[in-house]
């Protein structure tokens, strides 16, 4: 196994494409930092001028996170391409055959590919992340890592990224035709951004909806007692804005996917870059606050809900700390890596691929 | 630890099925240590499949392959099956470095020695992808040779080569066999070339070995037969025997049949000196191809 690892690491080090991606991982976040520097300090009041950077700590924390974690949306397509071309070459050039003939077990060969590709992914993510921090600092914006806590979330992001890498490796190894895994991997990489954001938006737990409806009912009761609303109106409103109106068909479809997979990372961790800025979810918080969903929905619907954010503040189901969510994502990611990796191994071992 | 056995590989009743298609049907043969073992057969007879099974690329559906050495030790089996397995975007040297790492060998001067042995010592920075087919084959052999294998499995190593390339590969294989004692299992469509190399043959047909024969026995079974027409056969026969030929005489036709290879000029001079007049000479050669066709029947689609 060690010989194969040495072999594969040498191949990666000698790969021109790998170093191109590495260069991209270094340049892109630095460039992004400078673009943000220009955007947030651009003053067009009197010609084109740039003012001094004046960000609050919260804004700086979010910007640091947003730019540095962008590897999770930016790198998958490159890693997919690299994995398929790099491992594909071993098939087309017959090197996998060489390894088997030399006497290496298929398990060792599979393991060496998996380990080295995962290591390459971690390396690229780290380059991207540290380049982002470097770029933020040299662009004059500065960086704030929330007392180092942000590194834990970077770690979670890398582990989620590794699930994709494992999937790419498996796809690259189980098909004899070389074009198919390439298409599939690129498709996964490109779609992961959008799908991640969509799936992540269905993160509201069922219990939170139950609690919201219960609290809303208590509030309506108080309003009825105070003579502010009559019982029939409340009944109509509660019928119209029942649990199903909050958790529709899409929720029923996508929430299970969200629960069992790490696909919702982008939504949960606001790792969607500019998407988050546009959607207004531009905060680096200590917890995921589901109550926002209810307040927002009430605001944009006919639900004249008397529930305020304050009422939901101490409801457990409305909040999920990132400390807990980190563990959930690590658990889900490790489980998926094990499932995908084991399935890939079984196919690789049995299928006549060489 | 290398076991002291007189064979390198013993194939016992090996069958291989691909779905409903039976590629190997209880195939059995034994490869003697130090031999150049030629596998002869038509397309689809099962030559490549058995080579893939022996080299570990495929598992047999049934039957076993016994190795006369510790085949689990890295690099003890070298193979060039179908196409040479080399990185086309790397140089010859770099390819060998990769193979050395693959086998856990120390990267030292032996890489240059191997390159020189296969005649690729002067390829420098040229990428293997730009090599001619012959150069790629030779690099493939050099890679298969890394780690001093006990057996070298070569599937059609001279396929597509020009005459110069064929000669180079042939010379290389003979040298490896004689100088380094490597046992070679080889298949080739070019039976005339195979006959110049192999010391043993297995004729494969329908996934089975229908005949195993040593090269000498093949010569005995066929080889060159010459018909000598002479008015004095009783005086001609000792002359031919003195030249190492085995003779038989057909009294009815008066023809002397001589088996074996010889220099015609020397025979004619010797006969002249013995006062024998040779009226006519007709040669008929039973070569590997003829033998194969006789054995399996049909066209020589080997």
Q: Which percentage of chain A shows pLDDT scores above 70?
A: 94
Chain B positions touching A94 (Cβ under 8 A) are 82-86
What mean pLDDT is predicted for residues A7-19?
90
pLDDT band at B219 (very low <50, low <70, confident <90, very high): low
**Predicted confidence band of residue B296 (pLDDT cuts 50, 70, 90):** low
Distance (Å, whole) CA A308 – CA A302: 16
Residue A214 contacts B, CB cutoff 8 Å: no
Q: Which residues of A touch B85 (CB under 8 A)?
A: 93-95, 97-98, 101
Q: How do beta strands B151-155 and B183-187 pair?
A: parallel
Alpha-carbon gap, residue B249 to B256, rounded angstroms: 5
pLDDT at A91: 81
Q: Does A97 touch chain B (CB under 8 A)?
A: yes
- Per the CB < 8 Å rule, is B74 touching A101? no
The CA-based diameter of chain B, rounded to the nearest angstrom, is: 71
The answer to whether position B301 is within a domain reads no
Task: Tell me how far apart the alpha carbons of residues A2 and A7 are, in angstroms, rounded to a whole number.
Answer: 8
Answer yes or no: do B148 and B162 share one domain: yes
Its ipTM equals 0.71
Q: Is the pLDDT of residue A21 over 90?
A: yes
What's the pLDDT score for residue B1?
45
Of A271, A267, A275, A325, the residue nearest A293 (C-alpha): A267
How many Å apart are CA A102 and CA B76, to the nearest integer? 7
Q: Is the Cβ–Cβ distance between B199 and B214 less than 8 Å?
A: yes
In a domain, B295, yes or no: no
Higher pLDDT, B113 or B300: B113
* B63 Cα to chain A: minimum distance (Å): 18
pLDDT for the residue numbered B222: 60
**A4 touching chain B per CB within 8 A:** yes
Give yes or no: residues B78 and B175 share one domain. yes
Burial of A277 (0-12, 13-18, 19+ CB in 10 A): middle
The share of chain B scoring above pLDDT 90, in percent, equals 4
Task: Examine the domain organization and report whether B255 and B127 are in the same domain.
Answer: no
- Kindly state whether residues B279 and B211 are assigned to the same domain: no
Residues B104 and B237 in one domain: no
B82-95: per-residue pLDDT in tens? 777 888 888 999 89
Give residue limits of the domains in chain A. Answer: 2-192+334-350, 206-326
Same domain, B201 and B232: no
Q: Pick the last residue of a domain from B218, B242, B271.
A: B218
pLDDT given at position A280 = 52
**pLDDT mean over A85-92:** 84
Strand ranges of the sheet holding B21-32, from the earlier edge strand across to the other edge: B21-32, B7-18, B62-67
Nearest Cα to Cα of residue A217 among A341, A112, A305, A329: A305
Residues B213 and B276 placed together within one structural domain of the fold = no
- What pLDDT is recorded for position A129? 94
**B126 shares a domain with B170:** yes
pLDDT in tens, A193-230: 778 778 877 888 888 888 888 888 888 888 888 888 88
Three-class secondary structure of residue B39 per DSSP: strand
Whether residue B170 is found in the same domain as residue B280: no
**Is pLDDT at B157 greater than 50 in this prediction?**
yes
pLDDT for position A160: 94
At residue A271, the pLDDT reads: 75
Least confident of A84-98, A228-242, B133-147, B157-171: B157-171
- B299 domain residue, yes or no: no
What is the token pair recorded at A224?
């009825």
Same domain, B177 and B272: no
* Number of other CB atoms surrounding residue B276 within 10 Å: 22
E-state strands within chain B:
7-18, 21-32, 36-41, 62-67, 77-80, 151-155, 183-187, 200-205, 208-214, 223-230, 246-250, 255-259, 278-286
Is residue A22 scored above 90 in pLDDT?
yes
The verdict on residue B300 lying in a domain is no
- Given B57, B88, B89, which is nearest A100 (Cβ)? B57
Q: What is the pLDDT of residue A156?
A: 95
Q: Once rounded to an integer, what is the mean pLDDT over residues B129-156?
A: 85
The pLDDT of residue A335 = 95
Residue with tokens 């690590």, as numbered in its chain: A330
Query: Residue B102 is nearest to which of A89, A102, A352, comparing CB atoms?
Result: A102
Supply the range of the domain harboring residue B16.
Answer: 7-218
Q: What percent of chain A has pLDDT over 90?
A: 30
Q: Which residue of B has its CA nearest to A98?
A: B85
Under DSSP, is residue B168 helix (H, G, I), strand (E, B) or coil? helix
Looking at the DSSP bridge assignments, the partners of residue A49 are A43
- Partner A, chain B 257-286, Cβ-Cβ below 8 Å: none
Residues B160 and B116 reside in one and the same domain: yes
Task: Assign 3-class secondary structure to chain A.
Answer: CHHHHHHHHHHHHCCHHHHHHHHHHHHHHHHHHHHHHHHHHEECCCCCEECCCCCCHHHHHHHHHHHHCCHHHHCHHHHHHHHHHHHHHHHHCCHHHHHHHHCCCHHHHHHHHHHHHHHHHHHHHHHHHHHHHHHHHHCCCCCCCHHHHHHHHHHHHHHHHHHHHHHHHHHHHHCCCCHHHHHHHHHHHHHHHHHHHHHHCCCCCHHHHHHHHHHHHHHHHHHHHCCCCCHHHHHHHHHHCCHHHHCCHHHHHHHHHHHHCHHHHHHHCCCCCHHHHHHCCCCCCCEEECHHHHHHHHHCCCCCCCCCHHHHCCCHHHEEEHHHHHHHHHHHHHHHHHHHHHHHHHHHHHCCCC
User: Between A303 and A247, whose confidence is greater?
Assistant: A247
- Domain count for chain B, please give it: 2
Mean pLDDT of A150-156: 93
- Compute the residue count for chain A: 354
Query: A-contacting residues of B 12-31, CB under 8 Å?
Result: 18
pLDDT score of A27: 94
Buried (b) or exposed (e) across A32-59, using 16+ Cβ within 10 A?
Answer: bbbebbeeebeeeeeeeeeeeeebeeeb
Looking at residue B300, its pLDDT comes to 43
Task: Dump pLDDT digits (tens) for B229-239.
Answer: 888 888 889 99
**Beta-carbon neighbour count of residue B227 at 10 Å?**
15
User: Is residue B104 in some structural domain?
Assistant: yes
pLDDT value for B2: 46
- Distance (Å, rounded) from C-alpha B83 to C-alpha B131? 14
B103–A102 C-beta distance less than 8 A: yes
Cβ neighbours of B82 in A, within 8 Å = 94
Taking an 8 Å cut-off on Cβ atoms, the answer to whether A3 and B103 are in contact is yes
DSSP state of B73: S
Which of A89, A93, A101 is facing B57, going by the closest CB pair? A101
pLDDT surpassing 70 at residue A278: no
Is the pLDDT assigned to residue B301 strictly greater than 50? Answer: no
What CATH number is associated with residue B154?
3.40.50.300
| Banded pLDDT at A246 (limits 50, 70, 90) | confident
The verdict on residue B294 lying in a domain is: no
Convert the pLDDT of each residue in B14-71 to its tens digit. Answer: 898 888 888 888 888 999 988 899 888 888 888 889 998 998 888 899 999 988 888 7
Lowest mean pLDDT among A26-30, A132-136, A308-312, B271-275: A308-312
Indicate the average pLDDT of chain B: 82
Per the domain annotation, does B43 fall within a domain?
yes
User: Read out DSSP for B232-269?
Assistant: -HHHHHHHHHHTT-EEEEETTTTEEEEES---HHHHHH
Same domain? For B243 and B134 the reply is no
Mean pLDDT of all residues in A34-57? 79
Tokens matching residue A55: 């960000």
Q: Average pLDDT in the B87-104 region?
A: 88
pLDDT number for residue A286: 82
**Pairwise CB contact (< 8 Å): B78 & A101:** yes
């Amino acid at each position: 196994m060690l010989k194969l690892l040495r072999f594969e690491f040498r191949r990666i080090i000698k790969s021109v494409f790998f170093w191109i991606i590495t260069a991209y991982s270094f340049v892109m976040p630095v460039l992004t930092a400078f673009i943000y520097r220009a955007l947030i300090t651009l003053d067009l009041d009197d010609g084109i001028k740039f003012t001094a950077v004046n960000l609050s700590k919260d804004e700086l924390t979010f910007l640091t996170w947003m730019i540095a974690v962008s590897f999770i949306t930016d790198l998958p397509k490159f890693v997919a391409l690299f994995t398929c071309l790099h491992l594909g070459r071993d098939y087309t050039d017959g090197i996998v055959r060489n390894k088997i003939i030399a006497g290496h077990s298929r398990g060792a060969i599979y393991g060496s590919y998996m380990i080295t590709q995962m290591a390459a992914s971690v390396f690229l993510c780290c380059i991207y992340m540290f380049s982002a921090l470097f770029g933020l600092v040299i662009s004059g914006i500065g960086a704030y890592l929330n007392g180092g806590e942000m590194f834990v979330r970077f770690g979670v992001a890398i582990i989620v990224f590794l699930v994709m890498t494992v999937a790419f490796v498996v796809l690259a190894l189980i098909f004899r035709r070389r074009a198919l895994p390439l298409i599939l991997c690129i498709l996964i990489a490109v779609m992961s951004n959008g799908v991640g954001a969509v799936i992540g938006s269905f993160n509201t737990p069922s219990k939170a909806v139950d609690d919201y409806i219960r609290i809303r009912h208590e509030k309506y009761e108080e309003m009825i007692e105070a003579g502010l609303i009559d019982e029939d109106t409340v009944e109509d409103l509660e019928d119209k804005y029942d649990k199903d109106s909050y958790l529709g068909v899409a929720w029923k479809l996508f929430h299970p996917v969200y629960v069992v997979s790490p696909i919702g990372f982008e939504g949960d961790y606001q790792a969607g870059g500019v998407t988050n800025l546009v959607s207004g979810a531009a905060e680096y918080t200590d917890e995921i606050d589901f109550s926002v969903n209810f307040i927002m929905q009430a605001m944009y619907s006919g639900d004249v809900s008397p529930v305020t954010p304050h009422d939901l503040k101490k409801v457990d189901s409305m909040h999920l700390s990132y400390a807990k969510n980190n563990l959930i994502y690590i658990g889900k990611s490790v489980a998926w890596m094990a499932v995908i990796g084991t399935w890939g191994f079984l196919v690789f071992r049995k299928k006549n691929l060489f | 630890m290398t076991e002291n056995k007189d064979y390198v590989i013993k194939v016992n009743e090996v069958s291989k099925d691909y779905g409903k298609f039976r590629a190997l049907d209880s195939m059995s043969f034994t490869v003697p240590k130090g031999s150049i073992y030629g596998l002869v057969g038509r397309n689809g007879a099962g030559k490549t499949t058995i080579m893939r099974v022996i080299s570990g690329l495929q598992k047999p559906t049934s039957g076993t392959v016994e190795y006369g050495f510790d085949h689990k030790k890295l690099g003890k089996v070298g193979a060039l099956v179908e196409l040479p397995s080399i990185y086309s975007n790397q140089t010859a040297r770099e390819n060998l470095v990769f193979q050395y790492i693959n086998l856990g060998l120390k990267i030292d001067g032996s890489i240059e020695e191997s390159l020189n042995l296969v005649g690729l010592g002067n390829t420098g920075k040229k990428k293997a992808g730009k090599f001619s087919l012959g150069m790629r084959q030779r690099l493939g052999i050099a890679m298969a040779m890394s780690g001093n294998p006990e057996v070298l499995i070569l599937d059609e190593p001279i396929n597509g080569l020009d005459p110069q390339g064929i000669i180079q590969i042939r010379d290389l294989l003979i040298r490896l066999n004689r100088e380094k004692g490597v046992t070679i299992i080889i298949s080739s469509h070019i039976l005339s070339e195979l006959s110049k190399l192999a010391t043993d043959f297995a004729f494969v047909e329908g996934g089975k070995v229908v005949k195993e024969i040593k090269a000498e026995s093949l010569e005995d079974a066929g080889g060159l037969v010459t018909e000598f027409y002479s008015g004095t056969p009783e005086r001609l026969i000792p002359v031919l025997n003195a030249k190492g030929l085995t003779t038989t005489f057909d009294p009815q036709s008066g023809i002397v049949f001589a088996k074996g290879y010889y220099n015609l000029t020397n025979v004619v001079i010797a006969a002249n000196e013995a006062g024998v007049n040779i009226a006519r000479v007709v040669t008929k050669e039973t070569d590997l191809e003829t033998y194969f066709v006789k054995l399996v029947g049909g066209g020589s689609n080997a």
